[in-house]
A = this chain, B = another copy of it.
Amino acid sequence: MESNATILDVARRAGVSRTTVSRVLNEPDRVSKDTLQRVQEAATALNYSPNSFARGLRSGRTDVIALLVGDISQPFHGSLAQAVVEAAEERGFGVMLYDLGHSTARLEDVLRKLPRQGVDGMIIATADDISTSSISDAVNECLDQGLAIVTGVEQFEVDGITSVLTDYREGTQLAMEALATEGLQRPALLLGDRNGPIGKRLVAGAPHATVYDVGYTFDDVESVVQALTHDHDALIVATLPMALGAMSALTRAGRSLPIIVCEEVPFAAQVTPAFSTSAVPPQETGREMVRLVDAIIGSIPIEPRALHATLTRRESF
């Protein structure tokens, strides 16, 4: 049970050449049934596993993709990562994880370093606005190096980047309609950043809502909501941490308001009261991201699939 049998060891044991062993692994059809079996036996007997570096060195492929997330400690990104990892494995990819900590400087660092990191492609899953010129430069460099790039939402004016097609407007639209059905006509829309790539779209879906830029974190939201006037009869909130902040502030003030969250994660259903949501489940987004990178890496023409939001009513509304 030592280790590290090479292709040559297998070849010798099976009485064939390295080429043949390689074929058994990569193009089994071009090999006679007889040798095929002999080689496979030898391989398992020696517990042979191809060296991924030698393979990568020759073939230029690594079968690894990078996943860049804004903040992996957030349940949304956790669920997304889970879906990405699962879908990636189904397609034979490993996933390298990078956490950006919501910092564009950090993103730039990672982008600059990624080409030498040995990945075939990357998924940029952040809702932060990253459309600066220095990031565009870094992205272009990755593109030049042949990396496949997929973003979770249209971020750049850069050619060659594919984005998941999520109609975020739908999220707020569905929420507004549901609220209206119950006579709630004066909702406040709480956003991290109304000019961000997602924020813009959420606003577009709820033209009649009053928009508040409150920042992305729990703490950010608390103070704003405390100051919220009594003009509103409901809250539409971009993320779960923000919704928790709102809930906390409301409770502290002895108030209560119907809430819909534009992010669907397991936790939304588990808090008390459980949050109603209107969003695309991260599982779907993750799978679609992997489908897209895989296609780009394999140079298979493909068109992004449109992802649709669903309204899930629970206790908060």
Contact = CB atoms under 8 A, between A and B. Distances in A.
A71 B82 contact: yes
B72 A73 contact: no
A78 interface: yes
A244 B270 contact: yes
Contacts of A144: 1-3
Given A2-B144, A95-B97, A241-B270, 13 more contacts: A3-B144, A49-B115, A52-B116, A52-B117, A72-B82, A74-B78, A81-B97, A85-B99, A94-B96, A95-B96, A96-B97, A218-B269, A248-B272
A4 interface: yes
Contacts of A97: 67, 81, 85, 95-97
Contacts of A317: none
A75 B144 CA distance: 36
A78 B86 contact: no
Contacts of A218: 266, 269-270
How many protomers of this protein does the assembly include?
A: 2
Interface string A51-76: 11110110000101001000111110
24 contacts: A1-B144, A3-B115, A3-B144, A3-B146, A49-B115, A50-B116, A51-B57, A52-B117, A53-B62, A57-B57, A71-B82, A72-B81, A72-B82, A73-B81, A73-B82, A73-B265, A74-B78, A85-B99, A94-B117, A96-B96, A245-B270, A248-B270, A248-B274, A267-B267
A134 interface: no
Contacts of A223: none
A291 interface: no
Given A53-B53, A99-B86, A267 B75 contact: yes
In the complex, the 7 A-B pairs of residues with the closest C-beta atoms, listed nearest first: A49-B116, A53-B56, A52-B118, A78-B78, A53-B57, A244-B270, A97-B97
A247 interface: yes
Contacts of A85: 72, 97-99
A14 to B, nearest CB: 19
A243 to B, nearest CB: 10
Contacts of A271: 244, 271-272
Interface of A: 1-4, 47, 49-54, 56-57, 62, 64, 67, 71-75, 77-79, 81-82, 85-86, 94-99, 115-118, 140-141, 144-146, 218, 241, 244-245, 247-248, 251, 265-267, 269-272, 274
Contact of A79 (B49, B67, B73): B73
